[in-house]
C-alpha cells in the first residue's frame, strides 16, 4: 500500500468509500478536479473568401471559416467563457513555396484573421502557430534542402513569422516546429521588434504521432508532405527527452509549455507539470477528436459524457488548460450543468 494511504487510514465496515458517492451534491464536494470553460482553448481554421464555411471531412463538426464567419464564431466562444482561440490557416496551394515565404507576409491570411478577431473581440486571447508546414510546398515545419529539414536556416524564417504575427495583434506565439533553439531565437526577435509583452507557448514536447492526420487535411498540408517528421518531432518511446525539451524551452524564455498529442501522453503532461510547475497545456489533437466523434456518430459512445470525461483526464494529469476542437461543445455542456 502507498505510504500516502497507510492501512490505518480506515477499514471496512467503518470506512465506506461509497458514502461520499451516494448523492450528487456530495460527489461535487469531494471532486478533486473541476473542468471549466476557462480551461479551454479552441483551435479554429481560417480560409479565404466571404461567408465561406468548408467542412473538414475527417473532423466531423469542424469547418474552415472565412474571416467574417470566424469573427462571429469567436464571439460565440467568448460568450461561452472560452478565453482564447488558436488560429490555423488553410493556405491556397499556389501560395505554397519551398521557402514558405507567405508565412512572413504581414498581410497573409493568418495576419488578416488575427487583426479582424482582435478588432471585434479585444478581450479574447489569440494564439498563433509558428511553423512552416501550412506554407511550405514540402509540407514540413522547416526549410528543406536535399531531403533534409534545416534547423538554423529555418530559425530565421520562424523569427520573421513570429514578428509579423505579433504585429498583427497575436497575443501568444506558439512555435510548433520543434527546431532546436527556436524559443530563444523567437524571444530575442520579439523583444528586438518591440513585442516584449507577447507571450510564448512552446510546443515543448511534440511527438511524431499518427494522430495528426485530420489536422493536416484541415490545413492542406497532408498532400504536400514528403517523407515524415521523425528527424525533428519526438519519438513516442521517449519520456525523459520530453523533460529535457521542456527545460530547454523554459530556459530560452517560454512562458507556457505544451504537450502534444494529449491522451496517449498524459504521463508526459504529469511529468512536465511536476518537474517545472509551469503553466502546462495539452493538445487534444485532431485524431483524438475524430475518433471520439466517429465512435459517437456510430452510436458506440455517448459523445457528451465521453467528451467531459476526456477533458477531465487532462486536468487530472496536471494540465492547466486544453486545446480542443470540441471546446464549444464542452462549454455548452458545462454551461448547462
pLDDT value of residue 5: 65
Q: Who contacts 93 (Cβ-Cβ below 8 Å, separation ≥6)?
A: 220
For 242, how many CA atoms within 13 A lie in the half-sphere containing its CB? 29
pLDDT value of residue 10: 78
pLDDT value of residue 193: 98
Task: In whole angstroms, give the CA distance from residue 331 to residue 37.
Answer: 5
Query: Could you tell me what percent of the chain has a pLDDT over 70?
Result: 97
Least confident of 11-15, 132-136, 224-228: 224-228
Residue 260 bears catalytic tag:
yes
Three cell numbers, residue 127: 494564439
Res. 89: pLDDT tops 60: yes
Domain spans, the chain: 35-336
pLDDT bracket for residue 30 (50, 70, 90) = very high
Please list, residue by residue across 54-89, b when 16 or more beta carbons sit within 10 angstroms of its beta carbon and e when fewer do: eebebbbbbbbbbbebbbebbeebbebebbbbbbbb
pLDDT value of residue 124: 98
pLDDT bracket for residue 221 (50, 70, 90) = confident
pLDDT bracket for residue 6 (50, 70, 90) = low
Q: Who contacts 159 (Cβ-Cβ below 8 Å, separation ≥6)?
A: 185, 186, 188, 189
The one catalytic residue among 206, 229, 273, 315: 206
Q: Who contacts 115 (Cβ-Cβ below 8 Å, separation ≥6)?
A: 168, 169
Q: What is the pTM of this model?
A: 0.95
Is 35-336 in CATH node 3.20.20.70? yes
Instruction: Give Cα 110 distance to the centre of its chain.
Output: 16
The one catalytic residue among 229, 260, 273, 315: 260
pLDDT bracket for residue 126 (50, 70, 90) = very high
Query: Could you tell me what percent of the chain has a pLDDT over 90?
Result: 92
Length of the chain: 337
Mean local confidence (pLDDT), 258-269? 98
Instruction: Give Cα 174 distance to the centre of its chain.
Output: 9
Instruction: Give Cα 334 distance to the centre of its chain.
Output: 20
Least confident of 221-230, 240-249, 320-329: 221-230
Mean local confidence (pLDDT), 84-98? 96
Task: In whole angstroms, give the CA distance from residue 160 to residue 165.
Answer: 9
pLDDT tens figures, 112-121: 999 999 999 9
Of 235, 232, 256, nearest to 246 by C-alpha is: 256
Residue 118 bears catalytic tag:
no
Task: In whole angstroms, give the CA distance from residue 90 to residue 297.
Answer: 26
| 90 neighbors 220 (Cβ within 8 angstroms) | yes
Mean local confidence (pLDDT), 274-300? 97
pLDDT bracket for residue 3 (50, 70, 90) = low
pLDDT value of residue 337: 81
pLDDT tens figures, 61-73: 999 999 999 999 9
pLDDT bracket for residue 225 (50, 70, 90) = confident
Res. 9: pLDDT tops 90: no
Least confident of 6-10, 19-23, 142-146, 306-310: 6-10
pLDDT value of residue 1: 36
Amino acid at each position: 500500500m502507498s505510504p500516502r494511504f497507510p492501512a490505518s487510514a480506515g477499514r471496512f465496515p467503518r470506512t465506506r468509500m461509497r458514502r461520499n458517492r451516494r448523492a450528487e451534491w456530495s460527489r461535487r464536494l469531494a471532486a478533486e478536479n473541476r473542468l471549466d470553460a476557462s480551461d479551454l482553448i479552441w483551435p479554429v481554421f481560417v480560409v479565404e473568401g466571404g461567408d465561406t464555411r468548408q467542412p473538414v471531412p475527417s473532423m466531423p463538426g469542424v469547418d474552415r471559416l472565412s474571416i467574417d464567419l470566424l469573427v462571429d464564431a469567436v464571439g460565440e466562444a467568448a460568450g461561452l467563457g472560452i478565453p482564447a482561440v488558436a488560429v490555423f490557416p488553410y493556405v491556397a496551394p499556389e501560395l505554397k513555396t519551398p521557402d514558405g515565404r507567405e508565412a512572413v507576409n504581414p498581410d497573409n491570411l493568418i495576419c488578416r484573421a488575427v487583426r479582424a478577431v482582435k478588432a471585434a473581440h479585444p478581450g479574447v486571447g489569440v494564439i498563433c502557430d509558428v511553423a512552416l508546414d501550412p506554407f511550405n510546398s514540402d509540407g514540413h515545419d522547416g526549410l528543406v534542402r536535399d531531403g533534409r529539414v534545416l534547423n538554423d536556416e529555418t530559425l530565421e524564417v520562424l523569427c520573421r513569422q513570429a514578428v509579423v504575427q505579433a504585429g498583427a495583434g497575436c497575443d501568444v506565439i506558439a512555435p510548433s516546429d520543434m527546431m532546436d533553439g527556436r524559443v530563444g531565437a523567437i524571444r530575442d526577435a520579439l523583444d528586438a521588434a518591440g513585442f516584449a509583452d507577447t507571450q510564448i507557448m512552446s510546443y515543448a514536447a511534440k511527438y511524431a504521432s499518427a494522430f495528426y492526420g485530420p489536422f493536416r487535411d484541415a490545413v492542406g498540408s497532408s498532400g504536400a508532405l514528403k517523407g515524415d517528421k521523425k528527424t525533428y518531432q519526438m519519438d513516442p518511446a521517449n519520456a525523459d527527452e520530453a523533460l529535457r525539451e521542456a527545460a530547454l524551452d523554459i530556459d530560452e524564455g517560454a512562458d507556457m509549455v505544451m504537450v502534444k498529442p494529449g491522451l496517449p501522453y498524459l504521463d508526459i503532461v504529469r511529468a512536465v507539470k511536476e518537474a517545472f510547475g509551469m503553466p502546462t497545456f495539452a493538445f487534444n489533437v485532431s485524431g483524438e477528436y475524430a475518433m471520439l466523434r466517429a465512435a459517437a456518430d456510430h452510436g458506440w459512445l455517448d459523445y457528451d459524457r465521453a467528451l467531459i470525461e476526456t477533458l477531465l483526464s487532462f486536468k487530472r494529469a496536471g494540465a492547466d488548460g486544453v486545446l480542443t476542437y470540441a471546446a464549444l461543445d464542452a462549454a455548452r455542456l458545462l454551461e448547462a450543468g
